[in-house]
Structure 1
Amino acid sequence: MSAAASGEILRQLEQPDHERFSKLAAIIQHVNPDVLMLCEFDHPGLGGDDGAVARFCQHYLALSQHGQPAVSYPYRYCPPSNTGLAMANDLDGDGKITLPNDAQGFGEHHGHFSFVILSRYPLLDEEIKSWQTLRWQDLPGHQMPEGYYSAAACAELRLSSKNHVLVPVNVGGAILHLVCCHPTPPVFDGHEKRNARRNHDELALLTAIIEDAEHLVDDKGSSGGLPRDSRFVVMGDLNADMADGDGMKRAIRDLLLHPTIHRSVSSGRMTPKSLGGRFLRPWQPRRGRPSEWTHISGLRLDYVLPSANLEVLQSGVFWPDKKDPLRHLITDARGRERPQAGSDHRLVWVDIALK
């Protein structure tokens, strides 16, 4: 739900019968999550809702779509984003400041490709932590390409391409922390591998947050990350696959195999799976399991990773097989899986029990 022009998604949501939005809403209604992260949902870059999220909730989610029951999310968070936020210094070295290449995060306008969080349970807004302004060069052991950016650009460039946020949720008196981010894809770069390196380090920041690393300082000046022994869920399109793809594998491997992450969900028998992924024919050979793919390129990119101290009941990927009556929600009129039919990603869900 992103467009090159600012406000375009808001304008499109004025239509009550937008077919693609209707399909996306029907998928959400069918899976019926209590807490949901939507990636690539345009909203103001400084944070907050310009009306697009409210319209999607009111005119699509709150009304039955394709025979699915309506859902309601009274609690919403639209974090500020680095996407489309123009740099003061030239980033790509062409001698001028232009979007999207000279933005803190790739985007045609401030707030392009942002993410939002929807919840049935109260979000503790005053306790949200974020690391939007953390500079890339300030991450210990960073992988910034040496000599590629100017000294002035290095002194300004932030690490998070969108934002890294820690959002506490009050679930009937129990606190569950959401750790959310959407790292840059490790492609569209040159021999310097700037995007692959940034993806790696955005994942390293994610790991530092769940480790409560002492070197972390959030946007409010507070030290540390996730409180020790917290119950949490990592959520996001991480643009990284441990088996395939162009990314640097160490950071995603360190995250998925981290001792505080529920191993059965991250890499064991309870990894989210689908029946429909097996019908995909990627254009490149893949080593990963088709049942675990979440993207139509044949990659596992999207994750819901509960902490090891949570009880996991079940999990899945919404990717209907060819005989499923809901298959049309991910295909176009000719039965093809295309991004324009709904999304190039598939919804990933995990059911947990909070005792």
Structure 2
Amino acid sequence: MSPQADRGSVRIENVSIIFGDNTAESLALADAGKSRSEIQEITGDVLGVHDCTVDINEGEILVLMGLSGSGKSTLLRAVNRLNPISRGTLTVNCGDETFDVGECDDKLLKQLRMDTVSMVFQQFGLLPWRSVADNVGFGLEISGVPKKERDQRVTEQLELVGLSDWADRMVAELSGGMQQRVGLARAFATGAPILLMDEPFSALDPLIRSRLQDELLELQARLGKTIVFVSHDLDEAMKLGNRIAIMEGGRIIQCGTPREIVNSPTNDYVADFVAHMNPIAMLTARDVMAQGKPDNTRGQLPLSASVTPDTPLSDVMDALSKRDGTIGVIDKGVVTGSITSSDIVRGLTQHRR
């Protein structure tokens, strides 16, 4: 498979994972609504995930979000069968190829892991005795890619992540953020259309972490990978995810866009999750504006500036900071709403109600 030759998608359908020797009994207890601790007490087994269903579409970032022990990493590692599938179906599609992951023999599983699904770990997994370039090309090397092609692809990926000048340095000479970029370059170098990222930035300090999040979004805009990203940080999930699947006790509690989850939490668990998050990154003018044409009842006229409904809230706030007053929201040449500082405050706090 040539690099970036195809797009990939994943379908997870009613997948359960049990660690232990009493799978049938443990699944029956999970189906009956028993908790992870209850199942472990009765059978000695550990419920990894239970009855999880979600589609990951071509070119999107799906974030698996939850507290420690919620099952998010367990589900992620089922995609390339680092964790076994006890029940259900997990299908990976790439071009004309379809992998039923749970049924793959050793040959197909190796093909899946080499060509279709690549992984970035939290602890980087770099080889300290190798140079940066040799680390990036390691997956290609064990796949048998000829050296000339391997060197070309390594050069392209190092340029992509801004590490061309560090190609011959040892990885121990790099900062944590730069090492994580080496991990990204290694994953991208294989050309695999599906990327699994297991809390890749959680060990980094906040400034580097935010920078790498921005860089990942920039790379994604250029490459269009299908990414499954595990995080326990809601702000990170809201920033990166096209959709977010919130997990608790091995189960997917809610899956939707950041806006859907913030505006319509499915239960108290999700509501508590979003109560203290910073919604600025996901809100637009449409989310906070007062509907209808501006008038003088709120002292709205004249307008100090105008935006479109899809203008990011951060840009609206910037406009108001420069010129106090009322922002007009214009859609297709017609003023359809208005925004004052009070509207912004209400929009930023409405998810806490």
Q: TM-score, normalised by structure 2?
A: 0.31
Q: Which is richer in strand?
A: 2
Q: Which is richer in helix?
A: 2
Q: TM-score, normalised by structure 1?
A: 0.31
Q: Which has the larger radius of gyration?
A: 2
